[in-house]
């Protein structure tokens, strides 16, 4: 491969020499990007331009998909693809002809360099851009650092950590010649049935926006370095509140809800500099997002000034025709999407042909094509792909899985794991609990990596069983393997665990969901894996109950990408840990928390319901939502947003305001003193919420407007202050105009969103 790269470099140099009379501005790195783009655009044929707007899956992916799928499988499959009637050889030919602008699902550096080499054989030698779902590290490709998934990262409330992970991910991606991550996912998750909750930063627009914005900045840097990658903010918009909980089903939302709940994280990420955006699978109020001019042109580009390019999701332009039925054929679907603002098509073989026809027929102006290609080429130049089209295979592993990145993954896991219940059994005593029975589907499986993870080398994954053996090496551990598949658990194995539980000093059950993509149809959580309930699948509840009936203390650990209703366990077990999808060092981090080597600090980024019947349950609901409580069950959640326990205790003083009245354009400071009243050092996540007491339209009972991670040594006290700005008090009035109304506002500061955990004070806007 190294010789091939050198040969291509010589060929490029020769090409430049032979065209010395024609100054190729686009090949001159000293020229401004805008001039390079216009020069290149002026040299391109219509077919080459339209090719830049099209993306394909990689050659190796096609080979694997052809071996495992039939043509009829392709309609509903959003993970694997091939192109009936065409082979990978055809794709290679199109690449050398300059008719391919991008690839996705290229998972090795060798293939990326190979395909880039083909692109550089084309007439104008325009490099392709490689996109990949690097959601929590570049984990979708082998031999990369796997960090906690977004829902766990959000539970750390640590924006500094989010930025660091994004920078490290960008470095590992570029070391594999990958340039574009389909992240951050800044959808606001408000339905636990939806399988992609774990891919988001939770249910609160403020938190989602904050975590997404620093992630975008971390990926992109200044988009002028070989260590920068392009962020892709997704999915625009409404897919996280589908009408039946399933991915891609309709979203039927008022404009008020769209603008006040779903738009803010996207707008914040555009202001943070995001230069690509992906539209959502779903239709929004009857209009498919992929042909929604209001979203792409009026709001995104018109209101927010977005300068980057918009990419479709997997075959979703085709779905304008074959799912939503708002176009009568594929050609019409392509027309509708482009004219609504779409720039790049993911993915397929008919795009080039039909879009060329649409331009030749005069239905799509070539100037409209130029606008999209200009945006795409701008990013290729800014990423340095023309100067650095390849990555060095010999140096790649110096960056990927480096000691620094591994340490970040471990620390992030420690900060993402939420202790949701503890009756005093934790932290464990190594002297007291010497004989431990461990069981459950997630006790010793690489599923701990989480969704969007390729199988990684076993030595690079710490399962819970691995972690226990490392942190408590002298404990006698009796492991009862329940297999990895919750749907097909063995009753005999459950009974075996129940019998052995009676002989132990302590029992640990590691339950939850199954997320690994290499067993796509057998997952219970993740993309396109939605559920009609949030109970533990299979015999997991029976396993927990039978083990607990031993009378021996039993701890439950949950590995999951969605909230799970574990009300029985909460009522009967002394301790529960919600570990989310903690990544490659999740097992070690869990064990460190169990034994008190790490003091847990994470807080839930999403409300945990008791059952699916509580849907929708969110902390920032409207005042009338529980005017009439449920008749036979509690209306309260199992665990509220912002909840999380520690091995120390914290005391909050009353809220002190810098003033009691402010003008509509003024600010004030709200402060509390937080004291660590326990015997251990810890980190407390201090949360601030605000409520507009009376308003012209109904407002939420509370909305997060600030948070802070505060390190406190045992006995230490610190003052924590938040500045309250007019933006925090703004809402849309009855005419949908942003206003700050006069009257009383309540500021609440404390340890969670639950009223019992909050100190309150009022101020007034004149």
* The predicted structure's pLDDT at residue 66: 84
Cα–Cα nearest to 714, from 643, 647, 642: 647
Residue 427 covered by a domain: yes
Write out the E strands in 613-681. Answer: 650-652, 656-657, 661-662, 668-676
Contacts of 552 (CB under 8 A, 6+ apart): 437, 501, 502, 504, 505, 506, 507
Would you call 700 helix, strand, or coil by DSSP?
coil
Instruction: Name which of 683, 706, 702 is nearest 693 in CA terms.
Output: 702
Residue 9 has pLDDT above 90, yes or no: no
Residue 685 domain boundaries = 650-765
Could you tell me the CA-to-CA distances from 258 to 77, 194, 265 in Å, in that order? 29, 18, 11
Q: Which helix (H) or strand (E) holds 182?
A: none
- Of 591, 626, 661, which closes a domain? 626
Same domain, 121 and 222: yes
Q: Note whether 473 and 326 are same-domain residues.
A: no
676/536 same-domain check: no
| Model pLDDT for residues 446-460, shown as the tens digit of each residue | 999 999 999 999 999
Would the CA dihedral through 751, 755, 756, 761 be positive or negative?
A: positive
Q: What is the pLDDT averaged over residues 523-528?
A: 96
**Tokens in use for 682?**
């810890």
pLDDT at 180 (0 to 100):
98
pLDDT tens for 155-189 read 999 999 999 999 999 999 999 999 999 999 999 99
Whether the Cβ atoms of residue 247 and residue 451 lie closer than 8 Å to each other = no
**Whole-number Å distance between alpha carbons of 439 and 444:** 9
User: Are 522 and 389 part of one and the same domain?
Assistant: no
The string of pLDDT tens digits covering residues 96-111 is: 999 999 999 999 999 9
CATH number at residue 168: 3.20.20.300
Say if residue 12's pLDDT is above 70.
no
Highest mean pLDDT range out of 70-84, 121-135, 655-669? 121-135
Reply yes or no on whether the pLDDT at 1 is more than 80: no
CA nearest to 26, candidates 128, 108, 124, 134: 124
Residue where a domain terminates, one of 369, 397, 425: 397
Q: What pLDDT does 71 receive?
A: 80
Cβ neighbours around 163 below 10 Å, total: 18
Distances (CA, A) of 601 to 161, 462, 535, 608, 648: 14, 21, 26, 18, 10
Phi, psi angle pair for 465, to nearest 5°: -60, -45
Asked whether residue 15 carries a pLDDT value surpassing 70, the answer given is no
Q: Which residues contact 257 (CB under 8 A, 6 or more apart)?
A: none
For the chain, first and last CA: distance in Å?
70
Q: On the CB side of 555, how many CA atoms lie within 13 Å of its CA? A: 31
Q: Are 570 and 421 in contact (CB under 8 A)?
A: yes
Q: What Rg do the C-alpha atoms of the chain give, in angstroms?
A: 27
Is the bond preceding residue 390 a cis peptide, omega within 30 degrees? no
The average pLDDT across 454-468 equals 97
Q: 744, 699 in Cβ contact below 8 A?
A: no
Residues 325 and 361 occupy one common structural domain: yes
Containing 337, the helix (H) or strand (E) segment is helix 330-340
Structure token digits, residue 536: 């533990």
Would you say 420 and 645 are in contact if contact means Cβ atoms under 8 Å apart? yes
Place of tokens 């990544």: 583
Count of all residues that appear for the chain in the document:
766
Residues 586 and 654 in one domain: no
Task: Give φ, ψ of 643 to 5 degrees.
Answer: -80, 140
Q: Are residues 205 and 329 in the same domain?
A: yes
Where a domain ends, among 364, 397, 430? 397
The answer to pTM > 0.85 is yes
Query: For the CA atoms of 541, 544, 546, 550, what is the dihedral angle to 10 degrees?
Result: -160
* Distance between CA atoms of residues 564 and 566, nearest Å: 6
Residue 277 sits in the same domain as residue 130: yes
Instruction: Classify 136 as helix, strand or coil.
Output: coil
**How many CA atoms lie within 13 Å of 144's alpha carbon, on the beta-carbon side?**
30
Tell me, yes or no, whether 172 and 54 share the same domain.
yes
Distance (Å, whole) CA 587 – CA 211: 24
Instruction: Establish if 643 belongs to a structural domain.
Output: no
Residue 486 belongs to what H/E stretch?
none
**Domain-embedded: residue 34:** no
Average pLDDT, the chain: 95
User: What local confidence, expressed as pLDDT, does residue 403 receive?
Assistant: 98
Residues 349 and 460 in one domain: no
* Residue scoring higher pLDDT (363 or 19): 363
**Rounded mean pLDDT of 35-46?**
98
For every residue of 240-264, DSSP letters joined together read TS-TTS-TTS-B---HHHIIIIIHH
CA distance 67 to 167: 36
CATH number, position 486? 3.40.50.1700
User: How far is 161 from 156, CA to CA, in rounded Å?
Assistant: 9
Q: What's the whole-number mean pLDDT along residues 715-742? A: 97
Give the residue-averaged pLDDT of 254-261.
98
Confidence class of residue 21 from pLDDT cuts 50, 70 and 90? low
Residue 334 lies in a domain: yes
In a domain, 24, yes or no: no
Q: Decide if 465 is inside a domain.
A: yes
Residues 372 and 467 in one domain: no
Percentage of the residues of the chain whose pLDDT score is greater than 70 = 97
Structure-block tokens of residue 381: 């130049």
Percentage above 90 pLDDT, the chain:
93
Contact yes or no for 172/400 (Cβ under 8 A)? yes
Question: What is the tens place of the pLDDT at every residue in 382-422?
Answer: 999 999 999 999 999 999 999 999 999 999 999 999 999 99
Q: Which two tokens stand for residue 673?
A: 């003193």
Domain assignment present for 15: no
Calpha distance 235→528 (Å, rounded) = 14
| Number of structural domains in the chain | 3
C-beta atoms surrounding 515 within 10 Å:
28
Average pLDDT of span 544-549: 98
Q: What is the pLDDT of residues 592-621, one digit of tens each?
A: 999 999 999 999 999 999 999 999 999 999
The CA angle 597-215-527, to the nearest 5 degrees, is 85
Q: Which pLDDT does position 79 carry in this prediction?
A: 80
Residue 745 and residue 622 share a domain: no
Q: Is residue 28 part of a domain?
A: no
What pLDDT does 75 receive? 76
Lowest mean pLDDT, pick from 71-80, 145-154, 457-466, 756-765: 71-80
At 120, give phi and psi (nearest 5°). -80, 0
């Amino acid at each position: 491969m190294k010789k091939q790269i050198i040969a291509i470099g010589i060929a490029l140099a020769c090409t430049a020499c032979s065209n010395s009379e024609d100054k190729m501005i686009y090949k001159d790195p000293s020229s401004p990007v805008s001039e390079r783009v216009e020069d290149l655009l002026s040299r391109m044929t219509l077919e080459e331009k339209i090719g830049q707007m099209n993306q394909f899956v990689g050659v190796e992916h096609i080979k694997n998909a052809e071996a495992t799928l039939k043509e009829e499988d392709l309609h509903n499959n959003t993970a694997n693809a091939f192109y009936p009637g065409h082979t990978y050889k055809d794709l290679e030919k199109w690449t050398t002809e300059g008719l391919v602008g991008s690839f996705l699902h290229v998972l090795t550096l060798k293939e990326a360099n190979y395909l880039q080499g083909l692109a550089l054989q084309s007439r104008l030698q325009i490099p392709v851009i490689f996109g990949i779902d690097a959601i929590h590290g570049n984990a979708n490709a082998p031999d990369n650092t796997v960090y906690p998934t977004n829902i766990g990262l959000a539970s750390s409330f640590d924006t500094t950590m989010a930025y660091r992970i994004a920078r490290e991910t960008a470095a590992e991606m570029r070391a594999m010649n990958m340039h574009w991550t389909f992240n951050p996912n800044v959808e606001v998750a408000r339905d636990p049935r939806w399988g992609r909750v774990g891919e988001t930063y939770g249910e609160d627009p403020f938190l989602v926006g904050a975590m997404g914005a620093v992630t975008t900045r971390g990926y992109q840097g200044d988009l002028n370095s070989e260590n920068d990658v392009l962020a892709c903010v997704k999915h625009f918009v409404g897919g996280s509140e589908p009408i039946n909980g399933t991915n891609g089903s309709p979203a039927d939302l008022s404009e008020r809800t769209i603008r006040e709940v779903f738009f803010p994280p996207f707008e914040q990420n555009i202001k943070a500099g995001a230069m690509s955006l992906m539209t959502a699978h779903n239709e929004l109020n009857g209009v498919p997002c992929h042909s929604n001019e209001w979203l792409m042109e009026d709001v995104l580009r018109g209101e927010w000034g977005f300068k980057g390019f918009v990419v479709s999701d997997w075959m979703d332009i085709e779905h304008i025709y074959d799912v939503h039925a708002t176009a009568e054929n594929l050609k019409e679907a392509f027309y509708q999407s482009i004219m609504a603002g779409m720039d790049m098509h993911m993915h397929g073989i008919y795009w080039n042909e039909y879009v060329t026809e649409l331009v030749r027929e005069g239905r799509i102006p070539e100037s409209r094509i130029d606008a999209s290609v200009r945006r795409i080429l701008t990013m290729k130049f800014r990423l340095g792909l023309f100067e650095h089209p390849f990555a060095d295979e010999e140096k790649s592993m110096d960056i990927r899985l480096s000691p620094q990145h591994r340490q970040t993954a471990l620390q992030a896991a420690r900060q993402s794991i939420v202790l949701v219940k503890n009756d005093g059994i934790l932290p464990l005593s190594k002297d007291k609990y010497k004989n431990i029975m461990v069981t459950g589907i997630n006790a010793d499986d690489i599923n701990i990596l989480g969704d969007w993870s390729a199988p990684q080398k076993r030595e690079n994954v710490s399962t819970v069983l691995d972690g226990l053996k490392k942190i408590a090496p002298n404990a006698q551990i009796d492991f009862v393997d329940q297999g990895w598949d919750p749907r097909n658990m063995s009753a005999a194995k459950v009974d075996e665990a129940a019998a052995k539980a009676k002989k132990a000093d302590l029992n640990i059950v590691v339950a939850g969901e199954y997320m690994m993509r290499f067993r796509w149809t057998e997952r219970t959580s993740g993309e396109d894996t939605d559920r009609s309930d949030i109970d533990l699948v299979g015999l997991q509840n029976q396993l927990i109950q039978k083990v607990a009936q031993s009378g021996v203390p039993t701890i439950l650990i949950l590995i999951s990408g969605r909230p799970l209703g574990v009300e029985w366990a909460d009522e009967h077990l002394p301790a529960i840990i919600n570990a989310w999808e903690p990544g490659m060092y999740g097992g070690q981090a869990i064990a460190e928390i169990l034994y008190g080597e790490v003091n847990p600090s994470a807080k839930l980024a999403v409300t945990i319901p008791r059952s699916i019947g509580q849907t929708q349950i969110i902390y920032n609901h409207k005042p009338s939502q529980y005017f009439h409580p449920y008749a036979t069950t509690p209306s309260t959640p199992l665990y509220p947003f912002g909840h999380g326990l520690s091995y120390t205790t914290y005391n909050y003083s009353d809220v002190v305001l810098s003033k009691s009245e402010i003008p509509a354009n003024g600010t004030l400071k709200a402060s509390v003193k937080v004291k660590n009243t326990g015997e251990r050092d810890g980190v407390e996540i201090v949360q601030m919420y605000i409520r507009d007491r009376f308003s012209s339209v109904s407002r939420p009972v509370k909305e997060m407007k600030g948070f802070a991670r505060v390190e406190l040594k045992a006995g230490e006290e610190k003052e924590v202050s938040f500045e309250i700005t007019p933006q925090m008090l703004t809402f849309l009035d009855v005419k949908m105009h942003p206003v700050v109304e006069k009257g009383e506002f309540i500021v609440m500061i404390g340890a969670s969103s639950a009223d019992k955990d909050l100190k309150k004070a009022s101020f007034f806007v004149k």
